[in-house]
Copies of this chain bind each other. A is one copy, B any other.
């Protein structure tokens, strides 16, 4: 397997893009990544597009080929991949694999979703496509329900409090204020969070990521071929995809997602790095409590300490480990298929030293993208090439 580097990134703002067709958003982000990379279109040998619910939400599929055509790419394999909220991370892993295995010299990754045009009930129904509806459908649980249960269990076992979880929200909403791509940055007080409309006890509105449109893109290339390109290449040290249970009952312990634990373990082994090497992480905070759990599952924070660390500021920019300096899903937004690719966009800018909320001296960054009930997970480890 060849070494692979990221040589270009692009992204639309996350938020409302009413009236813009989904493929146009994807084309916009991808065109930016192509220009950023300096890679000639004729050299791109594969396109992977991560998308979750364009079928039910837009009546549009075959997006991979559609986007490639509008970008003027040659006759190359163009594939949409889907793994619920991990679709973007899965797309990246396949582009990495195509280049690492020598199938092509460069590959383009695009993640995209449009959601804000639909009514809430339709969006909720579409998002529930990520559940095992035969088995869990009759329970009536939706994703806020699942994460509400997880919070209850975490609070009971580890003493995680409302104010600790609010610290996650305050941090990420604050980080989002510094990120021009973020949908909902804000300066919030504990009271504003606790008093925001209840969604699914104990989750309030500000504990939940918003509904978003957006697209992000990444260009990967074989390291040995990336020499003459304009920008700084970022090393891909590990790209891992794992599977957990699609059933809620398949998770007897809701304080952990086994797919995250497994992906992190494999990524550390693949890269030779340890959690201590990681300077920042963009992780899957679809709900505030998810960040607490993810940070522990990834080995970045001791088990049970996710809430404590957030409250003590140890996960802020400038703290021990910067978690979601972009604002995360909570503030940046969560256009589902775009999220995993958007995380890579953010980490690449951090490692280039060009992020608007820069982590000083960042050398190693991680992304973590989790799908459904933890049925799919990807973890990526990136390093500044001169580091």
A217 at the interface (CB under 8 A from B): no
A83 touches B64 (CB 8 A): yes
Q: How far is B245's CA from A66's CA once the two chains are assembled, in angstroms?
A: 8
Q: How far is B266's CA from A167's CA once the two chains are assembled, in angstroms?
A: 56
A23 at the interface (CB under 8 A from B): yes
B61 touches A53 (CB 8 A): yes
A160 at the interface (CB under 8 A from B): no
Residue with the highest number of chain B CB atoms closer than 10 Å, among A103, A128, A244, A376:
A376
Residue from B53, B62, B94 in contact with A79 in the complex, judged by beta carbons closer than 8 Å? B94
Residues of B with C-beta under 8 A to A197? none
| CB of A281 to closest CB in B, whole Å | 21
The segment from A29-37, A130-138, A143-151, A168-176 found at the interface with B is A130-138
Residues of B with C-beta under 8 A to A243? 65, 68-69, 73, 75-78
A126 touches B55 (CB 8 A): yes
B81 touches A80 (CB 8 A): yes
Q: Is the interface of A mostly helix, strand, loop or mixed?
A: mixed
A81 touches B78 (CB 8 A): no
Contacts A81-B80, A101-B101 hold; do A129 and B61 have CB atoms under 8 A apart?
yes
| CB of A184 to closest CB in B, whole Å | 26
A41 at the interface (CB under 8 A from B): no
Q: Specify the chain B residue showing the minimal Cβ separation from A84.
A: B62
A210 at the interface (CB under 8 A from B): no
A78 touches B376 (CB 8 A): yes
Q: How far is B47's CA from A243's CA once the two chains are assembled, in angstroms?
A: 10
B69 touches A241 (CB 8 A): no
With an 8 Å Cβ cutoff, the count of chain A residues facing the other chain is: 60
B-contact bits for A93-117, CB 8 A (1 contact / 0 none): 1100110111100000000000000
A90 at the interface (CB under 8 A from B): yes
A372 at the interface (CB under 8 A from B): yes
Q: Specify the chain B residue showing the minimal Cβ separation from A23.
A: B134
B258 touches A75 (CB 8 A): yes
- CB contacts under 8 Å to B, within A218-265, are 241-247, 250, 258-259, 262
A1 at the interface (CB under 8 A from B): yes
B-contact bits for A45-57, CB 8 A (1 contact / 0 none): 0000000110110
Residues of B with C-beta under 8 A to A126? 55, 59
| CB of A113 to closest CB in B, whole Å | 12
Contacts A55-B56, A97-B101 hold; do A77 and B129 have CB atoms under 8 A apart?
no
Residue from B56, B247, B371 in contact with A56 in the complex, judged by beta carbons closer than 8 Å? B56
A275 at the interface (CB under 8 A from B): no
| CB of A275 to closest CB in B, whole Å | 20
Residues of B with C-beta under 8 A to A65? 83, 243-244, 246, 371-372, 375-376
Q: List 12 A-B contacts (CB under 8 A).
A: A55-B56, A55-B126, A62-B131, A64-B83, A69-B245, A69-B247, A73-B243, A78-B376, A79-B81, A79-B83, A97-B97, A97-B98
